[in-house]
Chain A
Amino acid sequence: EPEVTQTPSHQVTQMGQEVILRCVPISNHLYFYWYRQILGQKVEFLVSFYNNEISEKSEIFDDQFSVERPDGSNFTLKIRSTKLEDSAMYFCASTGGQYQETQYFGPGTRLLVL
């Protein structure tokens, strides 16, 4: 069964450093998403992406964040200058349709900012 994959599974970085989290969505999917889950808190929407542009973003997704689909398979989330509060689990998701279509989630990348 096709699945969403994410790399790395864990990343530790120093505050102020740039990180890139990578995702490979399901191959025929067109809509891509990033969510994050701070430890002990709910999963929160960050951004959705379609046709090489951002469709929607939350207030969390400020200028420090960016997303890109650099090639036909990868979908990346970049945090330009990490803060302590960026420490969280980051989930990528994809769907073949829009709106209410079922989103399929990857296993997540746990980011720890020191």
Chain B
Amino acid sequence: AQSVTQPDIHITVSEGASLELRCNYSYGATPYLFWYVQSPGQGLQLLLKYFSGDTLVQGIKGFEAEFKRSQSSFNLRKPSVHWSDAAEYFCAVAPGVGTYKYIFGTGTRLKVLA
């Protein structure tokens, strides 16, 4: 069955430290991949997306993600975390032609220590 796994439910980092949030998907073909961020009480904001081409994609707020086909992964990274990055991060996939839905991971809640 198609699935998206975010193995880390909670991550705590110090401000200024680097960050990597993991996302793995289970799907036969290469899906279209997204990272969204949800701040408390807010909706889902698109950080970045991968459709094809360069496997390292840049997003907003200094985030980047790398698609690794061999590992079925799409990990999100940021070299230096800011306190305002504290939020919940969701990885999502769009499996492909024939379906419109996104499949979301369970999310990773990021806490940033001052």
Contact = CB atoms under 8 A, between A and B. Distances in A.
A22 to B, nearest CB: 15
Contact of A107 (B36, B42, B104, B107): B42
Contacts of A45: 101-103
Interface residues of B, number: 26
A39 to B, nearest CB: 12
Contacts of B90: 42-43
Contacts of A75: none
A50 B32 CA distance: 21
Nearest to A3: B43
B44 A42 contact: no
B43 A48 contact: no
A106 B104 contact: no
Nearest to A101: B94
Contacts, number: 58
A54 B16 CA distance: 46
Given A42-B104, A42-B107, A105-B36, A100 B51 contact: yes
A104 interface: yes
A33 B106 contact: no
B41 to A, nearest CB: 8
Contact of B97 (A99, A102, A103, A105): A99
Interface of B: 31-32, 34, 36, 42-46, 49, 51, 90, 92, 94, 96-107
10 contacts: A31-B100, A43-B92, A58-B101, A99-B100, A100-B31, A100-B32, A100-B51, A102-B34, A105-B44, A107-B43
